Amino acid sequence: MTDLLIHGGRALVQNDIRETSLQTAVRDIAALDAGTAALGLDASGLLVLPGIVDIHGDAFERQMMPRPGVDFPIDVALVDSDRQAIANGITTVFHATTWSWEPGLRSGSNAERLLDTIEALRPRLAADTRFHLRQEAYNLDAEPTIEQWLAAGRIDLLAFNDHMSSIVASLDRPQKRAKTVERTGLSNEAFDRLVADVLARADEVPASISRLAAVARANGVRMLSHDDESPAQRQAFRAKGVTIAEFPVNEETARDAADGGDFIVFGAPNVVRGGSHTGWTKASDMIAKGLCSVLASDYYYPAPLLAAFRLAADGILPLPQAWALVSSAPATAAGLTDRGRLAPGQRADLILVDDRVPLRPRIVAVVAAGRVVHLTEADRLTRLGAVARKTVAAA
């Protein structure tokens, strides 16, 4: 791997944006403000930012099933998703994979194939690709397998979901019902029978969550709870060691999470669009009140980049603090201490951004683990030999 000298840009270093150069060595950042390298990457006129760490993204499902009932091979879908993530500045991606009691797209067999394929493809993928398992709480038969995966270190994040109440509510809403049923591949009658059978085991759900949480804790796997509806629910999950609150549905619950020292995740699309597509909490309001610590791509890979710049443009946060929501904070939440910042010893995951057009930042280059994996302006990459930084700057 060739060392790289990134020079001429304005870099985000220690919550400040300043002109500096960065020297990489193998996969890490070796030094700031000094260095020589065989290759140079001219960042003149550009921002140099830490790569985005996305702890919850499920846009890859559209590559797997772009239309209801239309499947594509998982390896093809993952390679295409990797290209999309990298092109949008995401250098660490957690594929949020739902394992439900449903057949079809969110079935156990699909989750297992996806995990197997991620593990097989990792050496070929540009983004550091990890597995975020979203366990549907009523998916009781999956518990032994998930415990095995946790013990074997195959799960990077474990989330507890419970969409049963919304699914039951959708049974009387034809459009919503049709979408859910199509995803499973079942008939309406078969789907109704399945829902009834699953609901009949509701009293087994709390104990299953407790057992899985205990196994995750024992194996050092960070946990998330999804769509917490009340402070009491958040407190119950916190007591089990679930310290990341994903998409709390109201301010009261988000405030309890903040008071308890939990990480709080909202969707970056919510910020970009100016509100939630479900009509729930407005993320920018939560950020302004200090009730959001992480933004995730959720269902749209371009959103984290766009959201950070929108927060800055709207005066909600300065860009360095806004960028922390998509880089250093999610890295910390996921237990990754080696990324999310531009500093010696950190992974050389960084992006070069043209920010001249307000609200429309453009990715010019992406470096992941010291490799240039995306470049839209080839003339910015030059061979330097042993030219010193000061010489480059003066040229």
Phi, psi (5° rounding) for residue 245?
-100, 115
Burial category of 182 from C-beta neighbours within 10 Å (exposed 0-12, middle 13-18, buried 19 and up): middle
Specify the pLDDT at position 278: 67
Query: For 309-353, how does the pLDDT look when each residue is reduced to its tens digit (9 = 90+)?
Result: 999 999 999 999 999 999 999 999 999 999 999 999 999 999 999
Specify the pLDDT at position 386: 43
Query: For 138-160, how does the pLDDT look when each residue is reduced to its tens digit (9 = 90+)?
Result: 999 999 999 999 999 999 999 99
List the beta strands (DSSP E) in 14-69: 16-25, 28-32, 39-42, 47-50, 52-57
At 70, the pLDDT band (50, 70, 90 cuts) reads: confident
- 281: its two tokens: 């909490």
Contact 285, 311 (CB under 8 A): no
Q: Compute the distance between CA of residue 17 and CA of residue 342 in angstroms, rounded to an integer.
A: 11
Phi, psi (5° rounding) for residue 309?
-75, -30
The mean pLDDT of 69-94, rounded to a whole number, is: 95
- Closest to 325 measured CA to CA, from 274, 255, 268, 276: 268
Query: For 90-139, how does the pLDDT look when each residue is reduced to its tens digit (9 = 90+)?
Result: 999 999 999 998 888 889 999 999 999 999 999 999 999 999 999 999 99
The mean pLDDT of 22-40, rounded to a whole number, is: 87
Q: Compute the distance between CA of residue 207 and CA of residue 355 in angstroms, rounded to an integer.
A: 50
Ordered by start, the domain boundaries in the chain are 4-49+341-394, 52-333
CA distances from 41 to 25, 350, 364, 371 (A): 14, 12, 11, 11
Contact 50, 13 (CB under 8 A): no
Token match 């470096």: residue?
Answer: 367
Show the DSSP H helices in 122-173 as ranges. 143-151, 164-170
Q: Compute the distance between CA of residue 116 and CA of residue 272 in angstroms, rounded to an integer.
A: 33
Domains 4-49+341-394 and 52-333 share a fold: no
- 158: its two tokens: 């474990």
SS3 122: helix
Does residue 40 have a pLDDT over 50? yes
Does domain 4-49+341-394 sit in CATH 2.30.40.10?
A: yes
- Closest to 160 measured CA to CA, from 127, 189, 138, 186: 138
Burial category of 259 from C-beta neighbours within 10 Å (exposed 0-12, middle 13-18, buried 19 and up): exposed
CA distances from 293 to 122, 142, 221, 245 (A): 28, 31, 19, 10
How high does pLDDT run on average in the chain?
92
SS3 188: helix
CATH number of the domain at 52-333, out of 3.30.830.10, 3.30.1490.100, 2.60.40.420, 3.20.20.140?
3.20.20.140
Q: Compute the distance between CA of residue 82 and CA of residue 23 in angstroms, rounded to an integer.
A: 26
Does residue 370 have a pLDDT over 80? yes
The mean pLDDT of 297-302, rounded to a whole number, is: 96
Question: Longest Cα pair distance anywhere in the chain, in angstroms?
Answer: 73
Q: Compute the distance between CA of residue 233 and CA of residue 148 in angstroms, rounded to an integer.
A: 27
Which residues sit opposite 266 in a β-bridge? 295
DSSP label at residue 156 = S
- 154: its two tokens: 């195959």
Query: For 254-282, how does the pLDDT look when each residue is reduced to its tens digit (9 = 90+)?
Result: 999 999 999 999 999 999 998 776 667 89
Phi, psi (5° rounding) for residue 217?
-60, -45
At 172, the pLDDT band (50, 70, 90 cuts) reads: confident
- Closest to 355 measured CA to CA, from 12, 45, 16, 42: 45
Q: How far apart are the first and last CA of the chain?
A: 26
At 385, the pLDDT band (50, 70, 90 cuts) reads: low
